[in-house]
Amino acid sequence: MIETTAYIYYHDVRICKIIFREISQVNFEYIFQPDYIKIASLNGFKGIQGLNLSLKRKEFIRKNIIPSFIYEHSPFTFKFEGPKCYARNRNGDKEFHYANEVNGIPLLDYLAQKEYKYFGDTLTIHKI
Amino acid sequence: MNPIFRSVNELTVNVHNRIERFKFFQENFYDNIYFIEEGTNRFLGFTNYNNELKKESEILNYNVDIKNSDSNTIKEWFNQHPSVFRLPVLNDKELIGEYFDADSFGMLLYKRIENNALSLMKVFQKQVEDFLANKKYTIDKIFPKQIREILSLNSKNVVSPSEIMTPILLKEISKYFKNRGIKFFVFDSIMHSELRQLPKYKNKENITLEEALSSDILLYDFSNNDNETFMFLKKHRYDLNRISKITFNGIYYGLIDYISEEFNIINGRRHTVGTPQASGQVIHLFGPCIIEGLCVPDDKTIASILQSMFSRKNMLNCEVRNHGTAYGKDLINDMMRMAATDFSDNDIVVWVSGFDDQEEYLLKKNCVEFVDCKFLAIGTEGTWFLDNPMHCNAKMNKNFAKLIFNHICKYINSQTERKVLSNYITDKQLDLHYDNDAIIHSEELKKYCDWISSQSFCNKKDKTGCVVINANPYTLGHRYLIKEALKKCDQLYIIIVEQNTGDFIFNERFQMVNSEWKNYPNIKILSGGNVLTSSLGFPEYFNRTHQLKDSNPLLNHKIFAEYVAPILGINIRFFGVETNDEVTALLNKTAISYLPSKGIEVIIIDRKRINSTPISAKTVRRLYAERNFEALIPLVPFSTYRSLINRITDLDNAEILIELYSDSRLKDISQKVKKNNLNYAGMFYKFGVDMDGESYMLKISQTENDRLNLFSESLGSELCKVMDVPCSSIQLVTYHSKLSLLSKNWDLKDAQFFPLSSYYEETIELQGQPVIFSYQTFTEIIRTKFPDDYDNVFLIFWKSFIIDYLLCNARGAGNIGFIHREKVEMAPIYDNSTFLSDTSDQRFKDLNFPECPMIFEGEVHSAFEIIQSFKDPYLKKALKVFASYFSPELLLKYIRSEEEEYLYEVIKYRYFKLFQ
């Protein structure tokens, strides 16, 4: 099993922990653990894609789907490279080809390492 | 471009003294000097020659992280940076080596000039003594004037060998011509340093030839509506700076022969079109690239234009000879070439180059007719040179030719025979001789041997074989030869002849072979360099106008047997049976008699035959010229077939581009754009760029399908504007010769973007799993999230749905997005791209295409069916708006390209199907 973690930052404030666990190529999960105290102190912050933060859940678990936040923050060129994995799509029935890794590195680590800037928000992913 | 890895141990590091760095670059022009932390190898940066030329050199620091790179990434990187030859490679910030272009090694031109001048000082010993008499000069054999100035070294009473030899030769040569009554004209052209002073050329200050060649728009402007020149440059964009290879023949650096359709160097001279069979008077043109005509086809060089002027004026006995040598400004070399050229007293010599004040003074003092032609450059509007003022277009060449003609025409006579042919070297009995085996002592051979020694197999085995092939192009015959050779040896070198014969450039040929054999551990694929089966060693192979009886392939075999084979440990050489080509047959015959005496076994392998006819590259070239691709299939491997098809596409694209560039919508942004590391989700290769201080998204068309998509986006955005649907501001541009599209970024500031798919995901917390993309859920989400914007959102949704239907899009609901600021609003639509594959795609006539990803009701899937049968008040309203305000003719003003015409047909067809 592969397990790795990274954090979502709003400017320089760490607002959420992401844990990625890969049990097998078809069986994986992303877990988001928001830091509500820090989030409450922010000005201008509008939310994290795919998470209804008003529910104040300790964890948001996404089993066998690539969360919107991760999908949106990944450049297209990496989305269909590397070994393909199978997951249910949002319709729940079709096979959804999507790689959870880029060049052998878990996608989450890859995004954290590259520190890409996403055009749709100012949230960034870091390892520490 | 042939990037190869070299480890850190082989690199030059931490040369902190600038003078020492310059010494290094004189011998290693293309190399980098790296700076690393002592002990840890932590990469600090590097410097190269161009960087050192700056007044204050800086430490450069682009690099590649080895973990995230493969050979294709590296190759792509080099292709995108055509003037970079070395790329540092890091592993966790530690320098572990570099990728370097194996095709690039060489010596600084200044160094070559100085070396040449130094050896000439011995030949002109008396004149040198006179020059130095009573002067307290110190001779600097390391740095010429130009580098002394950069390094701010004390130049008082210091001269380099070229500063001694240039005035001596100027005096000697002009006196010689004067004494023989030969008319000698010197045309002083503008140099880069002078041009730089003019404000209108400031932006062209530092552009390299490679950079200029990578921009289609620059080439097109340069070609000045001359499509022949444009096609020529397009064809040679990757090898133009390698066409003109030079070699030292014992007296001067001359050109290596090169034969092709529109660029020919025969017997060391650029071909002049239209020369008479017999001439009574010869006009000799000397000079650098401007005379050789590096950037124009044969018929547009100054010499060819001048020749046509003589023909038009009925001066039919007059022949123009092009002695231009394209390798930079080197007055000494030009003069040594003059010294070795046979003249008749009746001939005229024209020398075009750049001259400083002292050189001008010396020439005038010796009664040379000195013509200042800088005004041609200053008074000329538009793009007349490519990267520097010696690389001129046909228009400028014509201006030069006219000026030359006006000055020399009164000296043209009607003599029908040239008498008393002699040259300066023989007349003065100088100790200078042509070296027929110059290649053996040449820098090229030494460098080549150094290079191949780094490429040899680590574990040499008993039977090491070699095949040398031209692969012009690579055929199944070559594959058979290699396979048969492999059966007879333990390891095999495939050496690809590097010199081009005009049909397929080396890179193409190398790739064809490499793609097939690169993964075989017992095979190494190498280039023949400038030396192995090159026109230096065996000119007859390349220039079939040579008389075969004069051929001597022995030199070629000698280079192989005495230099190449020992380094690589080759003891078997394989040849294919040659029945058609007598030059290759002669090469084989002499190999059989010579190579065994050097301990190399020769094995001749029979040719692969199809229907009893041997496969020949010549046949493949003929079929390719006829575009008979079907007949090619049994003759070539797939790698070659694909390469031939791509080649055609590229050239056809060039023709499309000519058409495209006349379109004022398309501006080239290659020079202006900077990647800004923004990342864009969604389909297609796209990245964030900064241009003129604004942030954009850039999509690049890599294929025919992409091109269609970009046109559909641009047309789709016009459709959105017509129907009042918010759409990103976009424009079509060209980027590195490819059709591209710029989309202006949304002004987000503190706002954030939320795609509809993220709201779908939020339902997991309520239902335990994501709900399906259905219209019902969509309406529920919008009602809950944006109760105030409900009407607006749904009207826009259905309008864009109809636009998608018209353009054959298949938009998922996830593409709908919202920008959250103080008030939530719909994000402008980014993507209007079509799912059609090309302009022959007839699927648009099937109204079930495309299938819509969102579920509306029951079994209804296609956009057409949904629009026709789905009951929704907002759809009804949107349809009414379309019926009232839209007609396809509104788009007619945007239709210019073939793709847009096709898309217009699609929209028209689908519109009438829906509304009639």
Q: Is the distance from CB of B740 to CB of B831 less than 8 angstroms? A: no
Rounded Cα distance between B721 and B329, Å, is 56
| A48: nearest CA partner in chain B | B754
Q: Which of A90, A98, A101 to mutate to test binding with chain B, by most B CBs within 10 Å of its CB?
A: A90
Measured CA to CA, the distance from residue B423 to residue B567 in angstroms comes to 42
- Which residues contact residue B566 at a Cβ distance below 8 angstroms, ignoring those fewer than 6 apart? none
**B753–A57 CB contact, under 8 Å:** no
Give me the pLDDT at residue B477, please.
Answer: 92
Q: How confident is the model at residue B533 (pLDDT cuts 50, 70, 90)?
A: low
Residues of B with CB under 8 A from a CB of A: 67-68, 676-688, 697, 745-746, 748, 750-755, 757-758, 760-762, 764-765, 769-773, 814, 817, 820-821, 855
Residues paired with residue B185 on neighbouring β-strands, in sequence order: B350, B369
The answer to which of B167-171, B775-779, B896-900 has the lowest mean pLDDT is: B896-900
Of B829, B687, B816, the residue nearest B754 (C-alpha): B816
Tokens of B70: 């493969």
- For B832-864, the pLDDT digits (tens) are 888 898 888 899 999 888 888 788 876 667 899
> Which of B679, B750, B817 comes nearest A118 by C-beta?
B679
Q: pLDDT of B284-305, one tens digit each?
A: 999 999 999 988 999 999 999 9
* Shortest distance, CA B851 to any CA of chain A (angstroms): 15
- Name the residue facing A120 among B67, B753, B821 (closest C-beta): B753
Interchain CB distance below 8 Å, B751 and A46: yes
pLDDT band at B545 (very low <50, low <70, confident <90, very high): very low
The pLDDT score that the predictor gives to residue B242 is 66
B807-840 pLDDT, tens digit per residue, is 998 776 667 789 998 888 888 887 788 889 888 8
Closest-CA residue of chain A to B823: A46
Cα–Cα dist B435/B256, whole Å: 15
Please tell me the distance in Å from B837's CA to the nearest CA on chain A.
Answer: 20
Distance CA B351, CA B170 (A): 12
- Quick one: average pLDDT of B681-697? 72
d(CA B234, CA B224): 14
Minimal C-alpha gap between A86 and chain B (Å):
16
CA gap B514, B494 in Å, rounded: 10
Q: How many CB atoms lie within 10 A of CB B236?
A: 21
pLDDT per position as a tens digit, B476-523? 999 999 999 999 999 999 999 887 666 677 777 888 888 888 888 899
- In contact, B318 and B235? CB cutoff 8 Å: no
pLDDT per residue as tens digits for the range B330-358: 999 999 999 999 999 999 999 999 998 88
Which one of A68, A72, A92 has the shortest CB-CB distance to B769? Answer: A92
Torsion, Cα B510 B516 B517 B518, to 10 degrees, reads 70
Instruction: State how beta strands B64-65 and B86-91 pair.
Output: parallel
Nearest to B332 by CA among B430, B425, B252: B252
Average pLDDT along chain B? 83
Average pLDDT over residues B265-274: 88
Most confident by average pLDDT, A52-66, B202-216, B671-685 = A52-66
pLDDT computed for residue A78 by the predictor: 46
CA B469 – CA B542 distance, rounded (Å): 13
Collect all residues of chain B within an 8 Å Cβ-Cβ radius of residue A9: none
Taking the C-alpha atoms of residue B572 and residue B564, their distance in angstroms, rounded to an integer, is 12
* Across B711-724, average pLDDT: 91
User: How many CB atoms sit inside 10 A of residue B171's CB?
Assistant: 16
Beta strands in B821-898 (DSSP E): 824-826
Average pLDDT rounded to a whole number, residues B414-428: 87
Q: How many residues does chain A have?
A: 128
Distance, in Å, from the CA atom of B242 to the CA atom of B751, rounded to the nearest integer, reads 53
Contact (Cβ atoms closer than 8 angstroms) between residue B536 and residue B442 = yes
CB contact under 8 A, B770 and A90: yes
Give B99's pLDDT tier (boundaries 50, 70, 90): confident
B39-80: pLDDT as tens digits = 888 888 898 887 887 766 677 777 766 655 666 667 667 766
HSE (CB half, 13 Å, CA atoms) of B414?
A: 2
Check if the beta carbon of residue B326 is closer than 8 Å to that of residue B292.
yes
Q: What pLDDT sits at residue B717?
A: 92
pLDDT at A85: 34
Contact B680 A119 (CB under 8 A): yes
Mean pLDDT across the stretch B628-656?
A: 70
Q: Which of A16, A49, A53 to mutate: most B Cβ within 10 Å?
A: A49
Q: Tell me the pLDDT of chain A (128 aa) as tens digits.
A: 788 999 999 988 999 999 999 887 678 899 999 999 999 999 889 999 999 999 999 999 998 888 889 888 876 544 443 333 333 344 444 344 456 776 667 888 888 877 667 778 889 999 88
Cβ pairs bridging A and B (under 8 Å): 107
Report pLDDT for A47. Answer: 94
Report whether the peptide linkage leading into residue B82 is cis, meaning its omega lies within 30 degrees of zero.
no
User: What are the chain A neighbours of B72 within 8 Å (beta carbons)?
Assistant: none
- Per-residue pLDDT, A90: 41
Residue B443 has pLDDT above 90, yes or no: no
Q: What is the pLDDT of residue B582?
A: 72
Closest CA to A31 of A47, A13, A51, A12: A51
Test B761 with A62 for CB contact under 8 angstroms: yes
Radius of gyration of chain A (CA): 14
Closest-CA residue of A relative to B699 is A76
Q: Which residues of A touch B771 (CB under 8 A)?
A: 90
Give CA–CA dist B255/B762, Å, rounded.
71
Which of A16, A70, A119, A121 is the mutation pick for testing B, counting most B CBs within 10 A?
A: A119
Tell me the pairing of strands B667-668 and A13-24.
Answer: unpaired
Tokens 């890409």 found at: A116
Answer yes or no: do A52 and B765 touch at CB < 8 A.
yes
Tell which wins on pLDDT, B27 or A46.
Answer: A46
pLDDT score, position B587: 79
* Lowest mean pLDDT segment, chosen from B432-441, B470-479, B600-609: B432-441
Nearest CA in chain B to A115: B677
b/e map of B27-43 (b: 16 or more CB within 10 Å)? ebbbbbbbbbeeeebeb
CB contacts, 8 Å: B754 with chain A: 46-47, 49
pLDDT at B657 over 60: no
Radius of gyration of chain B (CA): 33
* Amino acid making up residue B605: I
State the average pLDDT over residues B314-335. 90
pLDDT tens-digit map of B104-141: 666 677 888 898 999 999 999 999 999 988 888 888 88
